[in-house]
Amino acid sequence: MQYNFNEIEAKWQKYWAENQTFKAENNSEKEKFYVLDMFPYPSGAGLHVGHPLGYIASDIYARYKRHKGFNVLHPQGYDSFGLPAEQYAIQTGQHPAITTAANIKTYRRQLDQLGFSFDWSREVRTSSPEYYKWTQWIFIQIFNSWYNTDTDKAEDIDTLISVFEAEGNANVNAICDDDIAIFSAEDWTNFSDVEKQEILLKYRLTYLADTEVNWCPALGTVLANDEIVNGVSERGGHPVVRKKMTQWSMRISAYAQRLLDGLDKIDWPQPLKDSQTNWIGRSQGASAIFNVKDHDEKIEVFTTRPDTIFGVSFMTLAPEHELVGKITTAEQKEEVEAYIVATAKRSERDRMADVKTISGAFTGAYAEHPFTKEPIPIWIGDYVLAGYGTGAVMSVPCGDQRDYDFAKHFNIPIP
């Protein structure tokens, strides 16, 4: 007996569409189950093999759960806003709204032909104003909030203004910038509107900061680590460099402990919880201050092992650290600048993952050990990241593998 899949698939796909077979009910006595796929970028001529590879697996699971009596929500949509859509439009010489709509039409036809059990009544398009107005709304809510450590939650910025008006900021406990001066209620009243907004920006959950980013001059945009392959952009193969730019940032570290506590309450496999714990990256330790010899500068380091401070034999700064240009001696300037240029071409992910390549440059400057007062050579190395901790580490080669490898490579003492 012949299996006529074209006829059978067409018949049942038509039935599913007309009867909304896979539509999830908002109100149902059935137990809920949510199956969410990563939305495709409709930025090319059609689906590639990687799309159905993932969607088939999740669709099997969604169907299985329906047969087990669950009210399954299995939506689909299109991540149609941003660089991929923009680049495809540039390549084809058409407005992105036109190319995106045409590509979505093709994607939808192909997804339907594959027979997936998506609830298309829930379709999301991130390029639709009806969708992205909510991402803008979310930003506004975060911008108009500050994190109160006394209540351990975000609160409306108006509550902070009320405190400033009543008593100043001396008794405010918040997740905020470090360089905030103490002021009284009278001071607050006398501040100009601009000064008040500058102060509030130091408390808001979203704030402006000079941040190390992956900049692609050819694409004219900042790229995520995921969008870089071997030092060039995934799209177009253009050179990418590390540079400082003023960016909107969020004080997500305020939520580190709450995120960790939440992991204890969800039914996830332990390896997945461990990966989330590592991603959250909350550390407890101490800050140590090292004076730079013959300079007024100080280097602050954060360490989870302050007890190892007597094993410090050198210091390593991130090549992008703001002090590098100030403390590098004239004799070492050419070597240091060449190393900084070379490092700028590597992504953070490459630098974190590459444990085999050992590289660095001596600044010619020395720090003073806070206890022994011994001079400690200051190096730069790309295994230290400007955006992690303070961008500086006290290197203890007897207790850390990377410090040990660095010391052996450059013949630095290992006490």
List the domain range (segments joined by +) for residue 401: 286-409
Show which of 168, 187, 204 is a domain's final residue. 204
pLDDT at 276: 93
Kindly state whether residues 293 and 370 are assigned to the same domain. yes
- Give the tens place of pLDDT for each residue, 18-60: 999 999 999 999 999 999 999 998 877 788 888 899 999 999 9
pLDDT surpassing 90 at residue 387: no
Domain presence at residue 297: yes
Contact between 64 and 16 under an 8 Å Cβ cutoff? The reply is no
Q: What percent of the chain has pLDDT over 70?
A: 100
pLDDT at 323: 94
Mapping DSSP to helix (H, G, I), strand (E, B) and coil, where does residue 239 land? strand
Show which of 166, 182, 204 is a domain's final residue. 204
Please report where in the chains the tokens 């995120």 appear, as a residue. Answer: 259
The mean predicted confidence, pLDDT, of the chain is 92
Domain presence at residue 269: no
Domain presence at residue 281: no
pLDDT at 362: 97
User: pTM of this prediction?
Assistant: 0.74
pLDDT surpassing 80 at residue 195: yes
Kindly state whether residues 370 and 309 are assigned to the same domain. yes
Per-residue tokens: 306: 């302050």
Strands (E) in 297-382, as ranges, are 298-303, 314-317, 361-368, 375-380
Kindly state whether residues 14 and 122 are assigned to the same domain. yes
pLDDT surpassing 80 at residue 231: no
Cβ contacts of 343 within 8 Å, gap of 6 or more = 242, 319, 320, 351, 382
pLDDT surpassing 90 at residue 228: no
pLDDT surpassing 90 at residue 125: yes
Domain presence at residue 190: yes
Domain presence at residue 275: no
pLDDT at 353: 73
Domain presence at residue 134: no
CATH number at residue 46: 3.40.50.620
pLDDT at 109: 93
Contact between 57 and 18 under an 8 Å Cβ cutoff? The reply is no
Angle at 277 between CA 233 and CA 355, to 5 degrees: 50
pLDDT at 343: 86
pLDDT at 91: 79
- Give the tens place of pLDDT for each residue, 294-338: 999 999 999 999 999 999 999 999 999 999 999 999 999 999 999
pLDDT at 78: 94
Contact between 13 and 115 under an 8 Å Cβ cutoff? The reply is yes
Show which of 92, 127, 162 is a domain's final residue. 127
Angle at 153 between CA 148 and CA 156, to 5 degrees: 70
Kindly state whether residues 380 and 363 are assigned to the same domain. yes
pLDDT at 283: 86
Kindly state whether residues 62 and 92 are assigned to the same domain. yes
pLDDT surpassing 90 at residue 242: no
Domain presence at residue 380: yes
Kindly state whether residues 296 and 381 are assigned to the same domain. yes
Closest by Cα among 316, 322, 385 to 354: 385
Angle at 38 between CA 12 and CA 30, to 5 degrees: 60
Rounded to 10 degrees, what is the CA torsion of 363, 368, 369, 374? 90
More confident position, 63 or 388:
63
- Give the tens place of pLDDT for each residue, 360-380: 999 999 999 999 999 999 999
More confident position, 267 or 220:
267
Closest by Cα among 309, 304, 316, 293 to 409: 316
Distance between CA atoms of 85 and 6, rounded to whole angstroms?
A: 32
Please report where in the chains the tokens 């660089």 appear, as a residue. Answer: 83
Q: What would the mean pLDDT of 266-275 be, rounded to a whole number? A: 93
Kindly state whether residues 184 and 217 are assigned to the same domain. no
Kindly state whether residues 215 and 196 are assigned to the same domain. no
pLDDT surpassing 80 at residue 349: no
pLDDT at 236: 82
Domain presence at residue 278: no
DSSP class of residue 233?
E
Kindly state whether residues 181 and 216 are assigned to the same domain. no
Kindly state whether residues 120 and 231 are assigned to the same domain. no
Kindly state whether residues 324 and 396 are assigned to the same domain. yes
Kindly state whether residues 200 and 221 are assigned to the same domain. no
pLDDT surpassing 80 at residue 2: yes
State the total domains in the chain.
Answer: 4
